[in-house]
């Protein structure tokens, strides 16, 4: 595995700081600036890239999701500043070798994200200050809800389920 940098760590937040797609592995990190995304083609050999999302004691990449071997999104930010919306997301189109900051960020820190299966470029991100969607693979995001969620997973059939504190559950049907 690529060695951790001094002060680097992973956030457990939504359970999507580790993900797989197309036989590849991805791991999100924080604590260092910028937060990094580590990637592996086989789980044994790893490389790391800066994510364009800041890093610090409460700042970094909280969720990394890939739609296929090339297209990925990363979300995060500062969990102590729920509404801080600068540099909270990035996208990749080369398997995570390079990351580009979103042109329009989600409405705040986002702990979880999920691609919508069967809808090219569509993903949902959630956090304590709201939920957002992208139609262009993470380049731009739009807030659609201000309720608090921690984790989200979109399933085939155009349905996304989100969960939050105190048993909060939400269902989003994509049209």
The predicted model gives 149-170 an average pLDDT of 95
Question: What's phi and psi for 161, nearest 5 deg?
Answer: -115, 135
The whole-number pLDDT of residue 13 equals 67
The predicted model gives 59-75 an average pLDDT of 97
Q: Where are the domains of the chain?
A: 18-173
List, in sequence order, every residue forming a beta bridge with 100; answer none if it has no partner: 91
Q: Is 44 a residue whose pLDDT tops 90?
A: yes
Local confidence band at 1 (pLDDT 50, 70, 90 cut-offs): confident
pTM, 2 dp: 0.94
Give the residue, 99 or 12, on which the prediction is more confident: 99
Q: What angle do CA 27, 115, 67 make, to 5 degrees?
A: 65
The predicted model gives 93-99 an average pLDDT of 98
Closest CA to 32 of 11, 59, 68: 59
The predicted model gives 137-144 an average pLDDT of 98
Q: Is 3 a residue whose pLDDT tops 90?
A: no
Closest CA to 81 of 101, 57, 64, 114: 57
Homologous superfamily of 18-173: YVTN repeat-like/Quinoprotein amine dehydrogenase (2.130.10.10)
Closest CA to 58 of 33, 90, 30, 87: 30
* Residues 98-108: tens digit of each pLDDT: 999 999 999 99
Local confidence band at 41 (pLDDT 50, 70, 90 cut-offs): very high
The whole-number pLDDT of residue 175 equals 85
Q: Is 63 a residue whose pLDDT tops 90?
A: yes
What are the structure tokens assigned to 16, written together? Answer: 């999507």
In percent, how much of the chain has pLDDT > 70?
99
């Amino acid at each position: 595995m690529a060695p951790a940098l001094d002060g680097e760590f992973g956030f457990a937040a939504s359970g999507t700081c580790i993900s797989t797609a197309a036989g590849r592995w991805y791991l999100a990190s924080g604590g260092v600036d910028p937060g990094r995304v580590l990637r592996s083609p086989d789980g044994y050999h790893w490389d790391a890239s800066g994510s364009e999302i800041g890093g610090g004691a409460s700042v970094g990449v909280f969720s990394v999701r890939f739609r296929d071997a090339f297209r990925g999104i990363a979300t995060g930010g500062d969990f102590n500043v729920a509404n801080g919306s600068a540099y909270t997301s990035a996208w990749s189109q080369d398997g995570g070798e390079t990351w580009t900051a979103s042109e329009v960020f989600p409405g705040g820190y986002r702990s979880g994200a999920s691609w919508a299966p069967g809808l090219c470029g569509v993903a949902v991100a959630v956090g304590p200050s709201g939920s957002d969607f992208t139609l262009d693979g993470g380049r731009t995001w739009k807030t659609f809800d201000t309720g608090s969620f921690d984790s989200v997973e979109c399933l085939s059939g155009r349905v996304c389920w989100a969960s939050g504190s105190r048993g909060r559950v939400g269902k989003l049907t994509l049209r």
